[in-house]
Amino acid sequence: MSASSWRRVLMVISAVYLLVQIANVILVGRSIGFGQLLELGDSTLFIQLSSKPWLSGELWGGGGIVFGYPVLLKLFGLGFGMLLLQTLGSAAAWLVLGWEVFRGSHRASVGVVSAGFLMVLSLAPEVSYLHQFIMTDSLGLSGFVVMVAIMLRLLRTGSQVACALVIPVALVWVEIRPTNIVFVLLLSLVAVVWAARSRRRDIAVLAAGGLLLCAGFAVFHSQQRGQVVTKWVVDVGLDDPEIRAFLVAQGMPINETVLSLGDGAGISGDYAGRMAADPSLREFNKWVEDESLDAYTKWLLRDPAAFTADASRSFAASLPEKPPDFIIVGQEFGKKITPTARDAVWPIGGSIGSLAWVRPHLLLGLIVGYTLVLATVVLRLRPKMWRDARWLTGWLMVYILPVHVGVSFFADTVEVVRHGLGAALQLRVALVLLIAWSVDALWVGRNVQPTVGGRGTSSSTRSSATEGLVATTVDSDLNSPALPDVDVSRSNSVPSSTRS
């Protein structure tokens, strides 16, 4: 099949995928009566903040939480509008990533299979369940997918559009969930490396990286002093004798009223009002605002080995071998702290998405090991392919995974299972990119020499008599022979060299 034929195949797959997502919107909408979406513990605070006037300081970050999600709730409502945004926003993100992987493939067939698999992966309940809740998880995962697509585009072409988009997308993403600063740090690192190697736009990319670092860190720090630490102190620390003694040693005021704060008080909608109304809680509330972050940090980092073990267990808990009832149960290693939402609708395509997600731990471990070995061996066979955007992005996501796991656990030790989904998805997307790159590199031959940042480089041409290949003009991101289903991005690129 020609590249254009494979492109038409992917267009059909994309259309079917979009129809499935629209059907899911209708299915969930009918189930909930097109009314308010389902709630979890944190939903109460989001709903409360979204009800504030547009000029209210609480709506714009003064309520102990970043403003991104409450503002979206105010814009789109608590029901069908938000369901549309979260479901179709996710569909758009995965389509963008799928098509970018396709355009970066030397073999169009490899690109189509990779893109199709990514779309199926997004139908897994671990991802598609989340669209039904008033929570940041759905948009957070969609933002991750968009950021990966931007990174691939930036590395593949050095696109000015990608440079321009990365700033607003990243700022919105960290406003939705501050722990996303981990991936922003990764993207900033890539921008710095790209700027150092590219002769164009280096100042702009470095400036963008600096802006993202500063803005992301500021938001992350602000959030940590708010809801997350409060939730840990009130919902976990006060109930655990060991943690409570540690907090008291760190200066936490304690009395009968403080001890009476029940399970779940830290994430209840009336928490702030209760703190302000009860004089006996005033000193405790001031300590929580001013000093709890330091105590929280000291507790988690008191034993690095224990922290690493706890973070690893939290990540393992986000990789269950059963369908994801766990997503809608807040847990601290199995302890329920929020009620299950039994009204969640099993999404269309959830079963096939479950297969793509790969739940059995043994099988997933084998796939991870096989993929990493395969990518390493293929690199020795095709050393020029290391500059391919899929290889760079895939390995970077693998390298950053332990940091992502640790920061996700640090950011919320209460609901570790749900918050570990970002790292779980990052692992799977990295595996898809590395497998696609490996197959592509083995298939196209040794004379492939990809480019970085849109700068073309030439490579030697093999004899058509011995290889059955025809030398041709190549684009800026794909210096490879025109195989039957190669050069899928020809229409979007600029020739970099002409071979005779």
Q: Is the pLDDT at 459 greater than 50, yes or no?
A: no
With contact defined as beta carbons under 8 Å apart, do 127 and 90 qualify?
A: yes
Q: Given a cut of 60, is residue 475 above it in pLDDT? A: no
Element (H, E) at 352: helix 350-357
Task: Identify the band that residue 305 occupies on the pLDDT scale cut at 50, 70 and 90.
Answer: confident
Q: How many CA atoms lie within 13 A of 241 on its CB side?
A: 0
Q: Where are the alpha helices (DSSP H) in 104-177?
A: 108-121, 125-128, 137-157, 160-176
Separation between Cα atoms, residue 140 and residue 147, nearest integer Å? 11
Q: 105-109, 197-201, 280-284, 452-456 — which is least confidently predicted? A: 452-456
Residue identified by tokens 């938001």 is 219
* pLDDT greater than 70 at residue 480: no
The C-alpha atoms of residue 147 and residue 368 are separated, in whole angstroms, by: 22
Phi, psi of 321 (to 5 degrees): -95, 0
Q: 209-212, long-range: CB within 8 Å, 24+ apart, which pairs? A: 211/167, 212/166, 212/167, 212/170, 212/171, 212/184, 212/187, 212/188
**Helix, coil or strand: residue 38:** strand
391 touches 399 (CB < 8 A): no
State residue 195's pLDDT score.
Answer: 64
Share of the chain above pLDDT 70, in %: 65
Higher pLDDT, 234 or 371: 371
Which residues, 6+ apart, have CB-to-CB distance to 218 below 8 Å?
Answer: none
Q: Across residues 379-401, what is the average pLDDT?
A: 86
What is the identity of the amino acid at 77?
G
pLDDT at 336 over 60: no
Separation between Cα atoms, residue 42 and residue 227, nearest integer Å = 9
What would the DSSP string read from start to end of 422-465?
Answer: HHHHHHHHHHHHHHHHHHHHHHH-TT----BTTB----PPPPHH
Q: How far apart are CA 351 and CA 367, in angstroms?
A: 20
Cβ-in-10-Å burial (0-12, 13-18, 19+) of 464 comes to exposed
Is 219 within 8 Å of 177 (Cβ atoms)? no
Average pLDDT over residues 372-400: 88
For the segment 245-253, the average pLDDT, to the nearest whole number, is: 88
Say whether pLDDT at 331 is over 60: no
CA atoms within 13 A on the CB side of 491: 5
Give yes or no for a contact between 452 and 194, defined as CB atoms under 8 angstroms apart: yes
Least confident of 136-150, 216-230, 249-263, 309-323: 216-230
When pLDDT is averaged across residues 472-483 and rounded to a whole number, the result is 36
pLDDT of 12 higher than 60? yes
Non-local (6+) Cβ contacts of 143 within 8 A are 93, 169, 172, 173, 176, 177, 180
For residues 36-45, average pLDDT:
77
Task: Assess whether pLDDT exceeds 80 at residue 189.
Answer: no
Please check the confidence at residue 470 and state whether its pLDDT lies above 60.
no
For residues 337-341, average pLDDT:
40
Other beta carbons within 10 angstroms of residue 265's beta carbon come to 17
The lowest-confidence range among 87-96, 304-313, 435-444 is 304-313
Least confident of 64-73, 91-100, 450-459: 450-459
Q: Are 116 and 356 in contact (CB under 8 A)?
A: no
Residue spans of beta strands (DSSP E) within 327-390: 331-332, 335-336
Residue 369, pLDDT score: 93
- Report in angstroms the alpha-carbon separations of 216 from 66, 224, 305: 11, 12, 28
Q: How far is CA 464 from the centre of its chain?
A: 44
The residue behind tokens 């779940």 is 264
Phi, psi of 474 (to 5 degrees): -120, 160
The 3-class SS string of 227-265 reads: HHHHHHHHHHHCCCHHHHHHHHHCCCCCCHHHHCCCCCH
* CB contact at 8 A, 206 and 166: no
Answer whether residue 464 shows pLDDT above 80.
Answer: no
Rounded Cα gap, residues 105 and 114, in angstroms: 9
pLDDT of residue 298: 85
Average pLDDT over residues 202-209: 56
Q: Check: CB of residue 20 under 8 Å from CB of residue 349.
A: yes
Contact criterion met (CB below 8 Å) for 220 and 179: yes
Sequence-ordered list of residues with C-beta below 8 angstroms from that of 12, at least 6 positions apart, any chain: none
CA dist 394 and 428 (Å) reads 10
CA quadruple 172, 155, 422, 295: dihedral sign: negative
**CA dist., res. 224 & res. 87, Å (int):** 28
Name the pLDDT band for 376 (thresholds 50, 70, 90).
very high
